[in-house]
Homo-oligomer: A and B are copies of this chain.
Amino acid sequence: MKAVHEWTASEMLAAISCGRITVRALIESCLLRISARDDDVRAWLWLNADALAQADRLDALPADQRGRLHGLPLGVKDVFDTIDMPTTHNSSLYQGFRPAADAAAVALVRAEGVVLLGKTDTTEFAAAGRNAATGNPHDLTRTSGGSSAGSAAAVADFHVPVALATQTGGSTIRPAAFCGIYGFKPSAHLISREGVKVYSISFDTVGWMARSVADLQLLAGVYGITERLRAPLPNADLMIGVTAGPHAGALDKEALHALDTAEKRLVAAGHRVKRLELPTAFHALDLQHRTILRREGAQAFRALARTHGTALHDDFHRLVENRDNHALADLNAAYHAIAQGQQMFDEIASGFDLILVPSAPGVAPVGRKPGDPIFNAMWTALGVPCLNLPVSGLRDVSMPVGVTAISMRFDDVALLEAGRRIAPLLISLSSF
């Protein structure tokens, strides 16, 4: 039988709702797990000392005043402002910084009754500079991925069932893949980022980590992602595209094996699967993403560079000074090219329920570097929804590996539904 802290969010909410467990007992179980594990994992930068008192207050609340996430333990990446805990961005400049309000994305789940267990470690400002100290729960010598390192590890290691993350390049999908959990980056601009550190106006996106797709659907509902973009395709089984994409040459054998295995298992389950070639224009999306990221990043860190001088990590001065020489004309061209890519991708993706692509070049590397975003940045640039699905039971692969399900921009509801259908097929323990 699973320990309480190992339940999914949906299981926890159901158990609280029917009185099988108190919020206090649930929070105690999670805190004990953190206490036993976090000296090694280092997922957390700050723990909420008031969590048990909050649990008691929630337990005392009449049923008709309870929110949709009543009593749910939640981790929050330390780039979200929180009114009751410091927000440090893992930066020496922000140690002890106390925001005057919650980020909008925090306020919304707090109003629904979550218990914030604390703030999770992150690459500095979710951007560059200092790495998170977090280890991968499956092998502590390895990274849990970045920038949402702590949120991924905390969920994978059963400290919390769900956690808030962000993605600007690959900062949600990649750590989810490295840690063997479900991670979701919604379509661009669907969730308020107010009170979240800005890196790129165009690309920063609030995302979530969870141990089931159902839990991601639960969060999508709370955040107002409930509308369908289009009518379902007229087939009972799913129409699934598969492509290694324009950077296939960067995939190692574990990642290739995961994508091939996913394809075989889906075919075996009766879904229609088609291998895709993406247009050659897609090869440049990663570079265009980088041009925009660096120019937008220059604006995001200009004031900190001016006010803190060399106390700010040189990575950010590099951005502000545009040392990589991204010209304004290149920036303009990059915006245009990405807009054209979005139009092309809409046409391609309209023929599929979802498309499977790699989540990362391979398994989590040794060390604490966040890893390469090359398999994520182009999809973030296109603003499409991205769902990491773990692929397990692979021969000769001992670390987690995942594939990303993507779909048309704003097709989030249908993508999560389709992802929920195929997720169990991918964690099959068969020998494919």
Spell out A's residues near B (CB within 8 Å): 97-102, 104-105, 107-108, 111-112, 189-194, 197-198, 201-202, 223-224, 227-230, 296, 298-300, 302-304, 306-307, 320, 327-329, 331-332, 335-336, 339-340, 342-343, 346, 408-410
Contact = CB atoms under 8 A, between A and B. Distances in A.
Contacts of A336: 339, 342-343, 346
Contacts of A227: 327-328
Nearest to A321: B224
Nearest to A295: B189
A307 B107 contact: yes
26 contacts: A104-B303, A104-B304, A105-B303, A107-B306, A108-B302, A111-B303, A111-B306, A111-B307, A112-B306, A189-B299, A192-B303, A194-B198, A194-B300, A194-B303, A201-B201, A223-B302, A224-B298, A224-B299, A224-B320, A229-B328, A328-B410, A331-B410, A332-B410, A335-B409, A336-B346, A339-B342
Contacts of A111: 303, 306-307
How many copies of the chain does the oligomer comprise? 2
A189 B296 contact: yes
A300 B343 contact: no
Given A224-B298, A339-B340, A339-B343, 15 more contacts: A97-B100, A97-B101, A102-B303, A104-B304, A107-B303, A108-B303, A108-B307, A194-B197, A223-B302, A224-B299, A228-B328, A229-B329, A332-B409, A335-B342, A336-B342
A228, A320, A329 pick with most chain B CB within 10 angstroms: A329
A365 B142 CA distance: 65
A250 to B, nearest CB: 29
A110 B375 CA distance: 41
A182 to B, nearest CB: 23
A328 B328 CA distance: 32
Nearest to A300: B192
B302 A224 contact: yes
Given A100-B99, A303-B105, A202 B224 contact: no
Contacts of A327: 227
A318 to B, nearest CB: 14
Nearest to A332: B410
A189 B202 CA distance: 8
A300, A306, A342 pick with most chain B CB within 10 angstroms: A306
Contacts of A192: 198, 299-300, 302-303
Nearest to A320: B224
Contacts of A298: 224
A338 B314 CA distance: 37
A299 B196 CA distance: 14
Contact of A329 (B194, B198, B224, B230): B230
Contacts of A229: 328-329, 332
A111 B306 CA distance: 7
A303 B306 CA distance: 32
Nearest to A412: B328
Contacts of A105: 303
